[in-house]
Structure 1
Amino acid sequence: MAVYFPTVATPPLAESRAQLRHQLDLLADFWNACSEQELSTRPGPGRWSRREILGHLIDSALNNHRRIVVASLAPPPHRLRPYDQEAWVRVADYQHYPCADLLTLWTSLNTLMLHLLDRLPPHLLEAQYLTLNGNPTTLHWLISDYALHLEHHVRQIIHGETI
């Protein structure tokens, strides 16, 4: 998790929202044009397949959905909860989950995220979160970071970059 610096401008919420919507469209077009084999191939030992990267994005959507809900229900400061990303992907076994269902689930979760963002009261954007290192950040920054994280991994899926 990156450290939040208050002097660095966080993009407007509308920009993060538009970025999410754009990534949903980009990945749907790419995913539907790929074969199961293309989506399942691991580029090397210890590397995730495209399916597993999308599974990781599903896990990320679940965790970020929780952050928004927690900020809406309880007074700050909130603390980020760590999760073992490798273990989540392994336990969910996204490599053997139907490709079409993975895309549907990921799209649905991010559509829900967009729905939440549309209803988020502006004052909650400044709700304080403490990073894993105890550094302060805001829900607004976390939302922006989520959109950038999603864009990064969608680019990996589309261009075959490995992690």
Structure 2
Amino acid sequence: MVLSAPSMPQVCHRLHELLGLLNTRLPLFSPAELAAFPGPGKWSRKQILGHLIDSAANNHQRFMLALTTPEPLVLTPYDQDAWVRCADYQHTLPADLLSLWTTYNRQLIRLIEQIPLTAHAHRCTYGNGYEVTLRWLIEDYAVHLEHHVQQILGRTPQ
């Protein structure tokens, strides 16, 4: 059986679901649970949420550049650990993190919903030569977000 890729409305629907899920469940965690490190070199729940803010920012830029620059877009990586450390998410109020993450993702959903079908094939290239499309970047963003939301909720290993 061949599984088809999700449509953009399906991706946006899932992003909306994840926003609702985390906005409902995150406030149920105690401050200690949100700040606890699950192990050496692992991020706390607050840091994971901060990482998701960084991911939203980076992917917003990628989506916009894919829509506004000639092909192929060269994707620039970022040092995720350094970003989390520099932003000091560990010492940020959870409500502030959740609010920023939610607002940023609502904007990304609005952007994704209006991307023309013809732009989904825009080529994007990683530094190692691996090529993907804008559609793939959007789908990968949703999968990445889902993975980390599940980590925050304690449903997958950290």
- RMSD of aligned residue pairs (Cα, Å): 1.6
Provide the rounded CA distance (Å) in 1 between the counterparts of 2:123 and 2:84.
29
Q: TM-score, normalised by structure 2?
A: 0.94
Q: By how many angstroms is 1:15 displaced? A: 1.5
Contact 1:65 1:113 in 2 (8 A): yes
Matched, 1:122 2:117: yes
Percent identity, please: 46
Per the TM alignment, residue 32 of structure 1 is displaced from its structure 2 partner at its CA by 1.4
Q: Which has the higher contact order (CA 8 A, sep 6+)?
A: 1
Task: State the AA in 2 paired with 1:22.
Answer: E
Letter in 1 for 2:44: S
Cα distance between partner residues in 2 of 1:160 and 1:48 = 15
Tell me the amino acid that sits aligned with residue 102 of structure 2: T
- Matched to 2:37, the amino acid is R
In structure 1, the partner of 2:53 is: 58
TM-score by length of 1: 0.91
Distance 1:96 1:155 in 2: 22
- Which segment drifts farther, 39-48 or 7-16? 7-16
Map of 2:130 onto structure 1:
135
Paired residue for 1:70, among 61, 65, 68? 65
13 and 160 in structure 1: CA distance in 2 versus 1, 3 angstrom threshold: closer
Residue by residue, what CA displacement relative to the aligned partner does 1:57-77 show, whole Å, maximum 9, x if unpaired? 000000000011101211111
Do 2:9 and 2:113's aligned partners in 1 also have CA atoms closer than 8 Å? no
Where do residues 23-34 of structure 1 align in structure 2 (5 Å cutoff)?
Answer: 23-34=18-29
* CA distance in 2: counterparts of 1:125 and 1:103, whole angstroms: 29
Aligned partner (choices 132, 139, 150) of residue 144 of structure 1: 139
Aligned residues: 157
Aligned with 2:101 (options 84, 100, 106): 106
Structure 2 unmatched ranges of 5 or more: none
Distance 1:138 1:9 in 2: 16
What is the CA distance between 1:125 and its match in structure 2? Answer: 0.8
Q: Is the 1:50–1:157 contact (alpha carbons within 8 Å) kept by the matching residues of 2? A: yes
Aligned to 2:17: 22
Within-5 A mapping of 1:28-47: 28-47=23-42
Q: 1:9 to 1:161 in 2, by over 3 A?
A: closer
Q: 3-state SS of the aligned residue for 1:159?
A: coil
- What SS does the aligned partner of 1:153 have? helix
Shift of residue 10 of structure 1? 3.0
Q: How far 1:161 moved relative to its partner?
A: 4.2
